[in-house]
Amino acid sequence: MKIIKNFIRRQKNNIAHQIKRIKKDHLIREYFKNNALFISFVIINVLNSTILRFFCMRSIENYLSWKAILADIIIVTLGGAFGYLFKPKNRCTYLFSLTAFYTAICMINSIYYTFYTSFASISMLSLTQYIGDVGDAVVENVLQLKDLIYLIGPLILIGIHLKLKRKNYYKKIELKVERRKKTIRTLSFSGGLLVLFLITLTSLDVSRFLKQWNKEYVVMRFGIYVYQFNDLITSVQPKINSMFGYDKANKSFTDYFENSQSTVEANEYTNIFEGKNVIAIHAESMMTNVIDLTFNGQEVTPNLNRLSKEGMFFSNFYSQVSVGTSSDSELTYNTSLMPTKSGTAFVSYSDRTYVAIPKLLEEKGYYTFSMHANNADFWNRRTMHKNLGYNRFYSKTDYKVEKENIIGLGLSDKEFFKQSIEKLVKINEEKEKWYGLLIMLSNHTPFSEVEKYGEFPVDIKETITKEDGTTEEVVYPYMEDTKLGNYFKSIHYADSALGEFITGLEEKGLLENTVIVLYGDHDARLPKKDYNRLYNYDKENDSILSKDDPNYKEYDSYQYELGRKVPFIIWTKDMKGTKLNLNNTNVMGMYDVMPTLGNMFGFYNKYALGHDIYSIKENNVVVFPNGNWVNNQLYYNSQKATYLPLSEEPISEETISSNTEYANKLLDVSNDMIVFDLLNPKKNEEGSSEE
């Protein structure tokens, strides 16, 4: 009897368990059925953010980062929860509007990452005034098919909405109290996930989140939506901090330079050019990898090759630009400061005090000027050049710009140099000593006006002998019809213009007491796949060599970053064969130019962040705006906390740690110097009086 009772009890329990399970399954099915729109909304927007990471940071660790996915779910559900406050018929409008907003974030960052290898910032809004001038470059060189994939999600949401509408989903009545309960439950669910997420954060995660400068790391750990909201706060913060955080910034600034090694140290190059005239050439998108490159025996840049071999060539030189590209390059070249963490100094901080090359040379009796045949207000140069100390800015209105002489954004380099020589002759007659910056323009992305660059094939031509003894020329496409191939055609034109300029200066006698300083402002931002074709071309199949092929050359993200070097050359007509005619292979950055030239021309800026390369030599470290750094031993990627060895010297964790700390401090101090106007003597006096 007892056995029968136990059996009956067990059966009752089983039946009760099954009933509960059925009820639970029923509730789950009912939830999905009644919340199909909301669930679709969450899946679509989390999927879009995951796709963004896949396109931008191609590794399983990045695009399947559970922290980023969890953060995206939290943000999406938090925003979507308030949709339940609306009646069903209005809920779709709210969720679709929010989806459009999230989709815009993904699309903008996808496009931006293609060009800058970084994520977009709200502070860029101040730069939108310049988009019209470079619109073709954006469309031709940046916008890609992948950037339209994010639109599929919103279209699916519309499809689900129409299906629900046909099933009369929006006609059902929900009481206000019921809608409130759904909102609270969803918010509570999001809050629970948020607590779980916060528990998983490390001190490194929090530190990099608050600083925001390591954007890739933030997106990898916090997702794109958290990054973008945090960026909004970070972009506004400098304006607030400039009113309230001065004392802290000033102390950090003072401590940094008291402990720095930025002192005057004489060497064999001290004052070698003192009193000489200077022509500085800002070479648009000119890269080091074109030097000595040939196609069918024809040099891509014969004139640049000549200058690098006859002058003082720095072959391991890096630009250090951020979102301000050319303007950032000008800032760092002139002041030895880094680009700001948000916005760009030329636009957002043009009213600050800067110690710049033109100012220091003016103090030595130089007449200083700049020449650029573009709109004077592009990158706010009209204001900023005056602030940097240029006595005169020759802009578009000072040049004769005719339609037949326009390439890309404006006056062709050949015509620009031709007309500039006329101005230089007059300046040389009127001024005893002078310093001029000439900004090139034609070699600007998208490098699409190949018909204006002149004939320069980037294919492979070979002569083969047939069986009957006759010969035939065979042509393989190679780099033709690629963006990189078009760049080679463009840079060949720019190099030709440079050669004509040097010849023109010689003919007018302007090289007798003049030093030419040439620097590439930044790399050309071209696709990595094109470089893979350049180095691994299989001409027989007009394709890329297999990775298993013994001739295959690895070209990964590290090689791409290291390949972004730009030329820096100091040249005079009589330098060839002297002790000054050399190739300096030490790692050097744009912020090292000012102290290096200062040592040679006899001026000094005690607030320079860079160093005279002939004093620091092999101990130099080049810091990039994203926190990455490079020295002679290794290239360090701070986002991934990984590195590529560049020498056989042993690498210690202590070296990596100390250089990373140095990079962080340098970026913070540089940003504070600009944002808080710390070089303004009036500010310092006010700060002292307040204390």
Ordered by start, the domain boundaries in the chain are 1-30, 35-243, 250-690
Mean pLDDT within 455-468: 90
48-83 pLDDT tens trace: 998 888 888 766 666 567 888 999 999 999 998 998
* pLDDT bracket for residue 524 (50, 70, 90): very high
DSSP state of 277: E
Residue 407: strand pairing partners: 410
* pLDDT bracket for residue 33 (50, 70, 90): low
pLDDT of residue 263: 60
pLDDT value at 131 more than 80:
no
Query: What is the C-alpha to C-alpha distance for residues 75 and 225, in angstroms, rounded to an integer?
Result: 7
Query: What is the C-alpha to C-alpha distance for residues 520 and 289, in angstroms, rounded to an integer?
Result: 11
What's the CA dihedral at 490, 494, 497, 503 to 10 degrees? Answer: -130
Helix (H) or strand (E) holding 16: helix 2-34
pLDDT of residue 478: 97
pLDDT value at 373 more than 90:
yes
Mean pLDDT within 150-161: 90
Residue for token digits 């003894």?
469
130-139, 217-226, 268-277, 520-529: least confidently modelled range: 130-139
* Structure tokens that stand for 190 in this block: 């999001």
pLDDT value at 455 more than 90:
yes
pLDDT higher at 9 or 86: 86
pLDDT of residue 14: 54
pLDDT of residue 429: 97
Query: What is the C-alpha to C-alpha distance for residues 459 and 108, in angstroms, rounded to an integer?
Result: 35
Mean pLDDT within 510-521: 97
pLDDT higher at 580 or 23: 580
Most confidently modeled range among 7-16, 205-214, 581-590: 581-590
Helix (H) or strand (E) holding 439: strand 434-439
pLDDT of residue 165: 82
Mean pLDDT within 494-507: 98
Structural contact between residues 516 and 279, judged by C-beta atoms closer than 8 angstroms: yes
Mean pLDDT within 582-595: 98
pLDDT of residue 262: 56
pLDDT of residue 652: 93
- What percent of the chain lies above the pLDDT cut of 70? 86
195-213 pLDDT tens trace: 999 998 887 788 777 766 5
pLDDT of residue 484: 96
The amino acid at residue 218 is: V
Strand 434-439 with 277-283, pairing: parallel
In sequence order, what DSSP letters do the residues of 299-348 get, joined into one string?
A: ES-HHHHHHHHHSEEETTEE----TTHHHHHHHHHHHS-PPPSSS-HHHH
Mean pLDDT within 512-536: 94
Residue 294: strand pairing partners: 299
pLDDT of residue 24: 46
* pLDDT bracket for residue 7 (50, 70, 90): very low
* pLDDT bracket for residue 239 (50, 70, 90): low
250-690 CATH fold: Alkaline Phosphatase, subunit A (3.40.720)
pLDDT of residue 21: 47
User: The whole model's pTM is what?
Assistant: 0.78
- Show Cβ contacts of residue 660 under 8 Å, excluding neighbours closer than 6 positions: 627, 629, 636, 638
616-643 pLDDT tens trace: 999 999 999 999 999 999 999 988 889 9
pLDDT value at 321 more than 80:
yes
- What percent of the chain lies above the pLDDT cut of 90? 61
Mean pLDDT within 304-330: 96
pLDDT value at 503 more than 80:
yes
Dihedral sign computed on CA atoms, order 309, 312, 317, 322: negative
- At 431, give phi and psi (nearest 5°): -115, 140
Structural contact between residues 50 and 220, judged by C-beta atoms closer than 8 angstroms: no
427-436, 459-468, 658-667: least confidently modelled range: 459-468
Q: Which of 229, 222, 213, 223 is nearest to 101 (CA)?
A: 229
331-340, 600-609, 667-676, 679-688: least confidently modelled range: 679-688
Mean pLDDT within 382-404: 95
pLDDT value at 479 more than 50:
yes
36-40, 111-115, 310-314: least confidently modelled range: 111-115
pLDDT of residue 681: 86
pLDDT of residue 481: 94
Give strand ranges (E) for 504-574. Answer: 514-520, 537-538, 543-544, 568-571
177-186, 238-247, 375-384, 524-533: least confidently modelled range: 238-247
Mean pLDDT within 134-140: 50
Q: Is 458 helix (H, G, I), strand (E, B) or coil?
A: coil
pLDDT value at 540 more than 80:
yes
Question: What rounded mean pLDDT belongs to the chain?
Answer: 87
Query: What is the C-alpha to C-alpha distance for residues 258 and 595, in angstroms, rounded to an integer?
Result: 17
